[in-house]
Amino acid sequence: MKVLGKVLGAIAVLCLCIITVLVVKVYNRESRVREYEGELYSSECRSISYSDGTYGIKNLRTGEITLKGITWMFASEAYTDSLVIYSKNYRRGYFNRFTGEAVIPEQYTHAWIFSEGLAAVVKEDKVGFIDRRGEVVIDFQYPYLKDNDRRVDFVFHEGYCSMYDEEGKCGIINNKGEWVVKPQYDYIQNPLYGKRVFIQDGKYGLMDDSLHIVIPAEYRYITQTSDYAIVSRWDESRMQMSYKGEILNPMLYDMIDRLDYSTGKYFDDGTEIMASTGLYCYTVGNCRGLMDEKGKLVTPPDYSGIYAVNKHLFRATLFDRQSDVLLNEKGEVVKS
């Protein structure tokens, strides 16, 4: 009887182990296939995310999962294009956001959104352009520079696209793949308000919508607005320029402060009496200089701070933030 009891006990333990293993397998299998609703790409198609980190594409009309094993997707802004980029097995293709079907199967190492009927793709480290059927329109002739500091989105705007040559210089091509701006620049930004900022030898300039240079490459930085550009000089000062290259305001300031000094006297309530030096401290970027009451610059913005000592002397802090010099009211360094 004792032996029988041991045998039955062993069988019970074995059965329990088998049941546990089966439950774990079922749970793991269900966990692997557990899916969550993802982004809605159209009223007929959405992505599905899985617990293993991959995605699928589901046709909401048929309920069919049209694509599986996707690791990355990217659609044009506001989904204005019918094709969405996807990545699978380290290759990229395009699916239709209405049907979820792969229109151009994954075969490229890199891909960009369609613009003006063309999309840039990379094959064997060369950039070419395809149409919506996947047909090559502009041959794979441009190098894909993996280590380029300024990545350009290879998309067409008004028939033009920035592109690099074998020497790593940037120019502009048309939709036939012809150079319309020779590759001689470090970088050409995609157009903002129809104008393109470019860099040549580390200096910023600007092209208009006809690709003519209206602001030469002479500046530290250029910021664009819808109506004009803010141009930063190398001394941190800035000016406002039109998109025709005209100077609208030769000097722009971040702040202007009146420089007052202590008279050594006090009001009855104990408040210190301050008097004006007649000069002002202006700020551009993190740089400061002296200005007179008529707006004429007494010094360039060569200091990190300026403070009134008395009516005729000013303490100016250098950019090491520790050293000071004394300036007179003419902006000259007092040497003794």
Sorted by sequence, the CB contacts under 8 Å of residue 20 that are 6+ apart come out as none
Gap between the Cα atoms of 259 and 261, Å rounded: 7
168 and 148 Cβ atoms separated by less than 8 Å: yes
Closest by alpha carbon to 175, among 190, 158, 192, 194?
Answer: 158
- With b for 16 or more beta-carbon neighbours within 10 A and e for fewer, the 180-191 pattern comes to ebebebbbbbbb
Structure tokens at 300: 């360039």
Higher pLDDT, 5 or 309: 309
Gap between the Cα atoms of 62 and 186, Å rounded: 50
Q: What is the pTM of this model?
A: 0.76
In what side-by-side order are the strands of the sheet with 119-123? 110-111, 119-123, 126-130, 136-143
**Strand locations in 201-271 (E):** 203-207, 213-219, 221-224, 229-232, 238-241, 247-252, 255-266
The average pLDDT across 130-136 equals: 96
Per DSSP, 304 falls in state S
- What does the pLDDT read at residue 5? 58
- What does the pLDDT read at residue 335? 87
217 and 203 Cβ atoms separated by less than 8 Å: yes
Closest by alpha carbon to 155, among 134, 178, 173, 181?
Answer: 173
Maximum alpha-carbon separation in the chain: 115
Structure tokens at 309: 């000592």
Which has the minimum average pLDDT: 21-30, 212-221, 325-334? 21-30
208 CB burial (10 A radius; 0-12, 13-18, 19+): middle
The average pLDDT across 276-287 equals: 93
The average pLDDT across 137-143 equals: 96
- What does the pLDDT read at residue 152? 78
pLDDT at 150 > cutoff 90: no
Gap between the Cα atoms of 253 and 238, Å rounded: 7
15-24 LR contacts (CB < 8 Å, sep 24+): none
Structure tokens at 277: 């030096």
